[in-house]
Amino acid sequence: MFTRLISVRALGLSATAALAVSLGGCGAMDRIDNIGAAPALAPIANPTTQPGYRPVSMPMPTPEHVTYEPNSLWRTGSRAFFRDQRAAKVGDILTVLIDIADSAKVDNSTQRTRANSESAGLPNFLGFESKLKNVLPDAVDPSKLVDASSATSSAGAGTVDRKESIELTIAGVVTQVLPNGNLVIEGRQEVRVNYEVRELLISGIVRPEDISNTNTIKHTQIAEARISYGGRGQISDVQQPRYGQQLFDVIMPF
């Protein structure tokens, strides 16, 4: 009895270990460790040191030669006479105003019909048409040697109706100054409400001239803009299909 109990306990430990290994492969162990705890916020860090960060490389114009005129305070190529507090160099902060109100509606309908008919015969051919019965079946009719027809029909319809509305404000950091003076910015914002964390990410390239005197810029003035608004936590987890279902959707061909 004692030996059987040890065997059952060892079997249970092995099954638990196997389950732990399988769960660890998909990151579930971290979720199990955090049961009952609020999602942790990411630490504040230098964006250029984060995994996956790559400096931006864009086509640049020929650099201008900067000269100073004698007895003049103006510098050739300068964008402004007085210095202001708008973001201009690496590490400066500016505010990005995001106001997205997009809508798209597309309604397409296609219908096509085609019918073909072909007929051929050989009722008289120097008398040789009577010899066809020696080659072809007895039921052959020289006047109706070929009679073919075909018909095709196809119809398709598609409708797209999409509306998106996002209104947010986020502060970004200048991470790079390109040779032509444009600024590469990147910003991250996290807000935790109960057990759900909302994440807002913004990155792109801006012109210093587009930055307002209040040190703000609209998202429509950001080139190569990348805007992401999502979240993680208990609610986001429930909205996702389970791992097995996602794997099943990937590997099933039908």
pLDDT mean over 20-28: 53
* Contact indicator for 166, 188 with CB cutoff of 8 Å: no
Residue 77 region by backbone torsions, left for phi larger than 0, else alpha for psi between -120 and 50, else beta: left
Output 67 or 243, whichever has higher pLDDT. 243
Which tens digit of pLDDT belongs to each residue from 143-177?
Answer: 777 788 888 888 888 898 888 888 989 999 999 99
**Three-state secondary-structure class, residue 203:** strand
* Spatial strand order in the sheet of 183-193: 216-218, 93-120, 146-177, 183-193, 196-206, 223-233
Which tens digit of pLDDT belongs to each residue from 110-151?
Answer: 888 988 888 877 777 776 766 666 666 666 777 777 788 888
Residues 6+ apart with CB under 8 A from 183: 87, 88, 174, 176, 177, 205, 206, 207, 208
